[in-house]
Structure 1
């Protein structure tokens, strides 16, 4: 296994810190710290007065002891007594307290009738019951916390004080109503993927099973298995959700907006699959706290829900190697690092060659070799890496600070030369794409009902192309940079057990620049725009499991400083359980977006990553606005699952340059909208260790450009019919998945040869998107096996094959005039052909 030299120091530092923070044994410790540690380990809560434990120190009990053994040890070595209530609450008081009579009556809250044989659990683990009149009594202390329970009633914890038989406390118990189980599947498409109350999909990578063609829980590859989500060009940098373009999706990594999502210019996700803890995907009905998006939201969090132990792992596949380490510096702080780098510096695997051929086909890189076939030579260098760092620090029992840092970079260098008419022609091409991000967050639990979260973040993106040619000694430089800063404040308030309320404020500043510099002839242009936005968020949630209702509604009020413009964005999620098997869900949202990606020329940035980010000017580049509503029926019974969703979505303010046209609209600049409606269906069945599912998506997606001669025609990203199937088998540590994906071809525009003069050809087209490409069909397979040695080291081996039938799938087609033959030529781009991959991972 190969590891970059940069990691040597990292490993040394890791084990040095491990040694420094090893705890001493057997030393006296403050009593308060001892009980805090017991609270965390056993999930209990101590009640005490500071006077009773002040200045008290002793050797802490062994962690391996049970809770009762620890309490016995503390009682034996102190002057204190401990009252354990249901292994949840523990009262601490001084010994030798005089016991007095405690009495009470227990009645039903509904009909006020006495409850006989109700069980009262006392602090000393003794239990008493009520008589036919609901009466009980015992000798206790001044204040006694007891747990009262009875079949058919909700258990109740009360504090009883000393009294006499004439003034006994009267206690009312609420009847227990059998609630319908929440309709939420723990395995949808694969283990580790579930659907939440709010309509979002949640992926837990550490619990992820397997999907066809995937051996790692890649967030952006996995989400493409969800109905309604696909990629027209088989790229994680071009994910289309219900007809939207990739830039219309909001990608967040620990609160940082990511402007680059793919390595290898789109074939690999930049998000390390071994790092994330939770991935939330919203196709509709997203929270009002998510802005700057008119399509989906993908929120990735690497922060665990509970404290985790130290961990280390390293892995390698046929594209990259990675390392991950997590170390608890203390009981209140931890550090987590990850790094991943391509292995193309050392070896060109079959996987790498297939990826390279896929990415660079029909670009200026390959055009050079195709146009010049005499003494052609090429020297290329490609590599990528990403790295993350997380530091967590708890302050006291109420505050927590988290620092997240991420860096991503792709670098391509290609030198090409050829002899043309006894003259040397060469090009030196450099393409760099990178994204840096940082987020500092603070969370405070004021009490169990109120929480505040605040974070400050920055995201910096750069796309740079540098081309040098011998002919004319020309230098062409293109650069696109984004700098995004922001502050988020969120308050959470629990009003009742059913109702909660959130409010917050967000400030966002984005600056985008586009630079173009050419020599021979000289040309220079540098355009920079800055936009600042303020947002006020209000959101309420009502969740009544007895009434089987889930309702969440909120609004986001945006104010754009530059345009002095207010935009109101209401959001809504409603769920109703018709019965224990069937759930109805209604989602709706209005959203807006101020930045987008456009293509000026198809050959920009060598035609590889030709999209550049720009900011709306509220005129020729409008603010994009979307509205969407969807109705969903979710049925689950006897390991069968049926999910049917109908939706309507419209996005206004799109530009022709943002849609990637390669027909007569390529050089036309106008604005319009797209309107899509359709249905998504998923049928799933689980049988012991076998899971199979079939999904179908129907989309009807049209553009509307009112100022164009053909105002309505099919959307470039329309896949009218998509069908996917998978069969997955998981038993013990062995997993295997086989699946296929079939879709109708995307729209294309054909030339009108009846109007073309072949002696002096000029392209004349039919109506835009008048026909379609051939059907796309692909079969994928993957398998993993995991085993563990006696000393606790885990090993995992994975094998996958994409397109095992080696089908030649066309993913785009356009026409151009050949400079060599002066004729019209058809240019086709194809998906990956048969592509194997193997991975191996070691975890400690």
Structure 2
């Protein structure tokens, strides 16, 4: 009987598998052993009748090879460490470039030339380097590979508002700048401008340095860039995002239900990560628009390391474009920069110099199959110099103003995959912020210097444990130290004050996640236990995310969180820092400046079918421990120092339809937002940041490389406080106000347009041209209003601040 038929019969009878090469058994025929013999007896019989050796491994696998007079071989088996099953088609790569692969039983062999050094790899498993010597052994090596697990967030809805924006199972919005389509008024994937299109997110004054999420102030949001807390988020004092829009790989935005690993915020979380999820090829790009120019480059130093750089600088040093002029007029209206000219009548001269830049550096290095180190550095700076002079009645007056704002940051992160189920991340970070103003007036012979600096550093430890395919458990520890210094120095009369405060916080984090895609249940719960050294105070912050797919089209989501915050921005005087960037960071003292605490819950229903999306979310949020100084009052509460809270509830709705290359959506937000200052004569009144009604619409067309978008935004006017004219003495005017925020400004309405076109040459170079127009109809929208007594006319005058007028912009970018 043919030898091959004999061993097939033995495999069926004894449930074993033979491994062999066809050359070794070709042409062999012999009388088969009796079926009544044991497996070992049959193998002994076959060995005697042939010139072959039989190696029995656990009565499961049997290797067949020629006896010692043949060339020695190295043999082995490759198994999965997760379930101990053999891995078929695993790749074995030797140093001499020889490659073999495993069979269905995970078996492989190659000629043994001494010590064997080779790499074992397979898609979905971590590559393993093996060094072994079994020249004199007939036992085959057993190799176990750990699965390579990459946890991907499950997307609940794709293409929300635009391509490149999606909503995840945990309730967060995710922006992928490299996949970003287009939005009205935007020609670049600016993270902070884009997030303002999300229902519930607004900017009360068109500034990325004043983003209000569900009624909160800008400083109540946590902005992270690669794990570094950023205290400056805008260039041009808020009109441009400080983060290079061509850099970020993933931007996650949480309005509620954020992870317990995020602290120091009572409103939203914006986490920007520029570390790609997978290896990317070398790339370079450069671009310019009517405000700034930038470059970006990524270079792979080796298969395991790369370096990434970006830099951006304003072009205002060289040219004043129409876009720059509109931005300048918007930022500096009703500040000391423009008030100076308003108070002079003759020979007024002004020489201004403004510029900004930002730069980033990333270095990533893999060390072996389990470790990776990433270094991130960022620097941001804005600088304004204005020299003003005037002559009246033979008297010369001049002012030399300098305003500088900058933020530096660094983060060193280490990640280790201990095995396929356990991962550790450790990072050390530092963030340094400075705001400095220097004003010199010749007429009064006075110098005023103001400084606000923040130094924030810390240490984070995070462990992730995959218990099974449905359940994951995370735990960690965080240490955070923040120091804030405020300096005020005046000559003539002489005054000096410097105050420095430091807070250190320890946090223990526990978090579990259950995700069953079959039953469509996602549940994540965690808690953050903070300990503040200075106050000897514990604060417990539970977090909750629950999502249930009622049907394949209908999904319900419940989010809740308790959070706290030890730092905030306050305004001492509206003319501080020339009235441009008048907010200064300060720390809680647990008395007059309390620790801010928030609690929030929201219920969301979303329906997706046939390219339709209906999304509605109801929420309730309360923040306690706020101060009047942090709310920017310009009425009777401007100089009143009291504490209180605000309470906001509302509804956010989005309707979206995609038709081939066309996408259109309509959103509406209702907010009811009230202060409660219990010690004030009018304890309850509307919040300064209340926009009771907000509606947005956009129509977007994308086909091939051409994109165009048109949209409009409409909001009810923000609250304001008019004076009580009936109680004002015209001969000796003194401001007497009505009840705080008893009226509203006029409706805000704006129509925006943008379009981009991209093309590629035969040599692979891509070009992209973009154009945008903000406020196409050139509507004069009032965004703030306050009152003051004029020193020239001795009367009460109304001071209005307006949004951007019609503002064009163009961009050009080349990439390869």
In the other structure, the counterpart of 1:372 is 344
Structure 1 residues 693 and 76: alpha-carbon distance in aligned structure 2, compared to 1, 3 A threshold: farther
Alpha-carbon distance, 1:421 to partner: 2.1
Give the Cα–Cα distance (whole angstroms) in 2 for the partners of residues 394 and 85 of structure 1.
17
CA deviations on 1:683-706 (whole Å, 9 max, x unpaired) are: 000000000000000000000000
In the other structure, the counterpart of 1:223 is 195
State which of 382, 403, 412 in structure 2 corresponds to 1:410.
Answer: 382
Is residue 386 from structure 1 mapped to residue 424 from structure 2 by the alignment? no
Contact kept? 1:285, 1:572, Cα under 8 Å: yes
CA deviations on 1:516-558 (whole Å, 9 max, x unpaired) are: 0000000000000000000000000001112211000000000
In the other structure, the counterpart of 1:728 is 700
In the other structure, the counterpart of 2:164 is 192
Structure 1 residues 576 and 521: alpha-carbon distance in aligned structure 2, compared to 1, 3 A threshold: same
Give the Cα–Cα distance (whole angstroms) in 2 for the partners of residues 250 and 273 of structure 1.
19
Does the residue aligned with 2:695 lie in a helix, a strand or coil?
A: strand
Is residue 586 from structure 1 mapped to residue 558 from structure 2 by the alignment? yes
Does the residue aligned with 1:489 lie in a helix, a strand or coil?
A: strand
In the other structure, the counterpart of 2:680 is 708
Does the residue aligned with 1:272 lie in a helix, a strand or coil?
A: coil
TM-score (norm 1): 0.81
State which of 212, 222, 241 in structure 2 corresponds to 1:240.
Answer: 212
Does the residue aligned with 1:191 lie in a helix, a strand or coil?
A: coil
In the other structure, the counterpart of 1:160 is none
CA deviations on 1:688-729 (whole Å, 9 max, x unpaired) are: 000000000000000000000000000000000000000000
CA deviations on 1:464-509 (whole Å, 9 max, x unpaired) are: 0000011231000000000001000000000011100000000000
In the other structure, the counterpart of 2:96 is 58
In the other structure, the counterpart of 2:231 is 259
State which of 271, 284, 288 in structure 1 corresponds to 2:243.
Answer: 271
The CA RMSD measured in Å over matched residues stands at: 3.0
Is residue 505 from structure 1 mapped to residue 477 from structure 2 by the alignment? yes
Does the residue aligned with 1:352 lie in a helix, a strand or coil?
A: helix
Alpha-carbon distance, 1:83 to partner: 14
Give the Cα–Cα distance (whole angstroms) in 1 for the partners of residues 123 and 414 of structure 2.
31
Matching of residues 641-652 of structure 1 within 5 Å = 641-652=613-624
Contact kept? 1:741, 1:778, Cα under 8 Å: yes
In the other structure, the counterpart of 1:519 is 491
Is residue 741 from structure 1 mapped to residue 713 from structure 2 by the alignment? yes
Contact kept? 2:345, 2:392, Cα under 8 Å: no
CA deviations on 1:236-286 (whole Å, 9 max, x unpaired) are: 000000000000000000000000000000000000000000000000000
In the other structure, the counterpart of 1:612 is 584
Alpha-carbon distance, 1:206 to partner: 0.3
Contact kept? 2:89, 2:102, Cα under 8 Å: no
Contact kept? 1:737, 1:783, Cα under 8 Å: yes
Is residue 684 from structure 1 mapped to residue 656 from structure 2 by the alignment? yes
Q: Which stretch shifts more, 231-240 or 471-480? A: 471-480
Does the residue aligned with 2:323 lie in a helix, a strand or coil?
A: helix
In the other structure, the counterpart of 1:126 is none
Matching of residues 205-216 of structure 1 within 5 Å = 205-216=177-188
TM-score (norm 2): 0.84
Structure 1 residues 656 and 45: alpha-carbon distance in aligned structure 2, compared to 1, 3 A threshold: farther
Structure 2: stretches of 5+ with no match in the other structure = 1-73, 79-86, 148-152
Contact kept? 1:183, 1:583, Cα under 8 Å: no
Give the Cα–Cα distance (whole angstroms) in 2 for the partners of residues 676 and 627 of structure 1.
11
Give the Cα–Cα distance (whole angstroms) in 1 for the partners of residues 307 and 109 of structure 2.
33
Structure 1: stretches of 5+ with no match in the other structure = 1-30, 36-43, 100-140, 146-156, 158-180
Is residue 751 from structure 1 mapped to residue 751 from structure 2 by the alignment? no
Matching of residues 87-236 of structure 1 within 5 Å = 184-236=156-208
Alpha-carbon distance, 1:608 to partner: 0.2
CA deviations on 1:332-380 (whole Å, 9 max, x unpaired) are: 1110000000001110000000000000000000000011121000000
Aligned length: 718
Does the residue aligned with 2:626 lie in a helix, a strand or coil?
A: strand
Contact kept? 2:90, 2:102, Cα under 8 Å: no
Give the Cα–Cα distance (whole angstroms) in 1 for the partners of residues 569 and 88 of structure 2.
53
State which of 613, 625, 630 in structure 2 corresponds to 1:653.
Answer: 625
State which of 339, 344, 348 in structure 1 corresponds to 2:316.
Answer: 344
In the other structure, the counterpart of 2:275 is 303
Give the Cα–Cα distance (whole angstroms) in 1 for the partners of residues 398 and 119 of structure 2.
84
In the other structure, the counterpart of 2:47 is none
CA deviations on 1:535-588 (whole Å, 9 max, x unpaired) are: 000000001112211000000000000000000000000001000000000000
In the other structure, the counterpart of 1:431 is 403
CA deviations on 1:422-447 (whole Å, 9 max, x unpaired) are: 10000000000000000000000000
In the other structure, the counterpart of 1:125 is none
Alpha-carbon distance, 1:87 to partner: 6.9
In the other structure, the counterpart of 2:815 is 843
Does the residue aligned with 2:450 lie in a helix, a strand or coil?
A: strand
Contact kept? 1:183, 1:582, Cα under 8 Å: no
Structure 1 residues 75 and 436: alpha-carbon distance in aligned structure 2, compared to 1, 3 A threshold: same
State which of 450, 460, 472 in structure 1 corresponds to 2:432.
Answer: 460
In the other structure, the counterpart of 2:456 is 484
Give the Cα–Cα distance (whole angstroms) in 1 for the partners of residues 210 and 123 of structure 2.
52
Structure 1 residues 234 and 635: alpha-carbon distance in aligned structure 2, compared to 1, 3 A threshold: same
Structure 1 residues 87 and 619: alpha-carbon distance in aligned structure 2, compared to 1, 3 A threshold: closer
Give the Cα–Cα distance (whole angstroms) in 1 for the partners of residues 109 and 217 of structure 2.
63
Alpha-carbon distance, 1:86 to partner: 9.6
State which of 754, 759, 762 in structure 2 corresponds to 1:790.
Answer: 762
CA deviations on 1:90-132 (whole Å, 9 max, x unpaired) are: 9999999xx9xxxxxxxxxxxxxxxxxxxxxxxxxxxxxxxxx
Is residue 354 from structure 1 mapped to residue 392 from structure 2 by the alignment? no
Contact kept? 1:776, 1:810, Cα under 8 Å: yes
Contact kept? 1:588, 1:629, Cα under 8 Å: yes
Does the residue aligned with 1:758 lie in a helix, a strand or coil?
A: coil
Does the residue aligned with 2:331 lie in a helix, a strand or coil?
A: helix
Alpha-carbon distance, 1:59 to partner: 4.0
Give the Cα–Cα distance (whole angstroms) in 2 for the partners of residues 292 and 142 of structure 1.
53
CA deviations on 1:611-638 (whole Å, 9 max, x unpaired) are: 0000000000000000000000011000
Is residue 813 from structure 1 mapped to residue 785 from structure 2 by the alignment? yes
Give the Cα–Cα distance (whole angstroms) in 2 for the partners of residues 785 and 830 of structure 1.
32
